[in-house]
């Protein structure tokens, strides 16, 4: 029984990048979409559901919010094919198969509407301030994304033949033979995020799922080609994989987990650093040729400064959001919400 934590959304250079559509596929038997406002108890409800599933001995995937990692955006129970998500902005979710698979959970019914109406004017000002702070954070993240892209472009060339040899060696060790005739299934997640608390990566999830975790020490992003080769080999041999993009470049493969094979591959770069001792550490920096060391130091320093400003702006946005929630919290019957969440969890899991 393994509990895991993944992000399903990233504060990315091109704006919010969400993967919540992963929960609207045939693999999911039932998706519950929680609707309500700030401070309405969505995260509280999700936590109760996760705890009830854990009490029953089920594997639980908790999905924190990248803009507030202490708050939940979703819960997934892979053994049951059940998922719950916060369906409000910025990760708006709407039913694709209403009733047949996707179901609304309306927490707005627990509001005191008359009390909220009296808060309209201060709330309007706070929502405007929150949107402004979010736009500021987005500009800093966009700038950080450009700096990250420039840093990755520093090598004049990459020793691809050595990368290919390493890939072949890993494939022979970790994915020998063919597991089954059908191609493996890919799941997409984010293992890392740009958050108000800094740059967070849930390396612990990789180590929980995989007995052997390879760390790619990769300051220039050269390991993406290696990961893509490993991904294709694992899928071709019938293994399910979890492919994780980089929040500063979501289309760039940054981590690859193959729990069925017991193998995981995580990246340490100029943004995130693995905080655990890996099974093996592969230094990919020597494969990048023609890099000016002074230029690398300046690019790294600039990237760190831009991310620091992004984190500061995110904290400001979260503080405003906390003030918004302070207006909503007194209008919610939290005793009724907890009773509802416990009963809903029991009905969904029985």
pLDDT, tens digit, 9 for 90 and up, residues 53-111 = 999 999 999 999 999 999 999 999 999 999 999 999 898 899 999 999 999 999 988 88
The neighbour count for residue 209, using CB atoms within 10 Å, is 18
50 neighbors 64 (Cβ within 8 angstroms): no
- pLDDT tens series, the chain, 350 aa: 678 999 999 999 999 999 999 999 999 999 999 999 999 999 999 999 999 999 999 999 999 999 999 999 999 999 999 999 999 989 889 999 999 999 999 998 888 889 999 999 999 999 999 999 999 999 999 999 999 999 999 999 999 999 999 999 999 999 987 666 789 999 999 999 999 999 999 999 999 999 999 999 999 999 999 999 999 999 999 999 999 999 999 999 999 999 999 999 999 999 999 999 999 999 999 999 999 999 999 999 999 999 999 999 999 999 999 999 999 999 999 999 999 999 999 999 99
The pLDDT, as a whole number, for residue 176 is 83
Q: What is the pLDDT of residue 177?
A: 73
**pLDDT at position 269:** 97
DSSP 124-151: HHHHHHHHHHHHHHHHHHHHHHHHHHHH
For position 182, what pLDDT does the model report? 85
Task: Read off φ and ψ for residue 57, nearest 5 degrees.
Answer: 85, 20
Instruction: Give me the pLDDT at residue 188, please.
Output: 98
Cβ 220 vs Cβ 285: under 8 Å: yes
Q: Which of 94, 40, 90 is nearest to 65 (CA)?
A: 90
- pLDDT confidence of residue 1: 60
């Amino acid at each position: 029984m393994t509990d895991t934590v993944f992000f399903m959304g990233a504060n990315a250079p091109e704006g919010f990048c969400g993967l919540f559509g992963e929960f609207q596929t045939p693999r999911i038997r039932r998706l519950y979409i929680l609707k309500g406002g700030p401070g309405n108890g969505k995260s509280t409800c999700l936590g109760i559901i996760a705890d009830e599933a854990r009490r029953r001995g089920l594997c639980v995937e908790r999905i924190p919010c990248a803009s507030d990692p202490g708050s939940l955006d979703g819960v997934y129970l892979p053994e049951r094919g059940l998922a719950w998500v916060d369906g409000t902005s910025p990760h708006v979710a709407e039913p694709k198969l209403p009733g047949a698979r996707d179901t609304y959970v309306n927490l707005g019914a627990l509001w005191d509407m008359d009390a909220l109406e009296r808060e309209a004017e201060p709330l309007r000002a706070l929502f405007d301030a929150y949107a402004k702070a979010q736009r500021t954070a987005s500009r800093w993240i966009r700038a950080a994304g450009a700096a990250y892209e420039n840093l990755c472009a520093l090598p004049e060339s990459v020793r691809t033949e050595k990368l290919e040899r390493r890939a072949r060696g890993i494939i022979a060790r970790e994915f020998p033979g063919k597991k089954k005739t059908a191609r493996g299934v890919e799941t997409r997640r984010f293992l890392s995020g740009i958050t108000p608390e800094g740059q967070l990566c849930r390396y612990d999830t990789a180590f929980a799922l995989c007995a052997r975790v390879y760390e790619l020490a990769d300051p220039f992003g050269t390991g993406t080609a290696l990961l893509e080769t490993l991904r294709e080999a694992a899928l071709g041999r019938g293994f399910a994989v979890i492919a994780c993009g980089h929040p500063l470049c979501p289309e760039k493969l940054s981590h690859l987990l193959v729990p069925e094979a017991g193998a995981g591959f995580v990246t340490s770069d100029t943004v995130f650093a693995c905080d655990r001792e890996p099974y093996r550490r592969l230094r990919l920096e020597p494969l990048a040729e023609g890099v000016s060391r002074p230029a690398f130091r300046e690019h790294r320093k600039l990237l760190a400064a831009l991310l620091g400003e992004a984190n500061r702006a995110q904290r400001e946005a979260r503080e405003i959001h906390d003030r918004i929630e302070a207006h909503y919290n007194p209008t919610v019957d939290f005793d009724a919400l907890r009773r509802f969440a416990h009963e809903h969890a029991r009905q969904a899991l029985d």
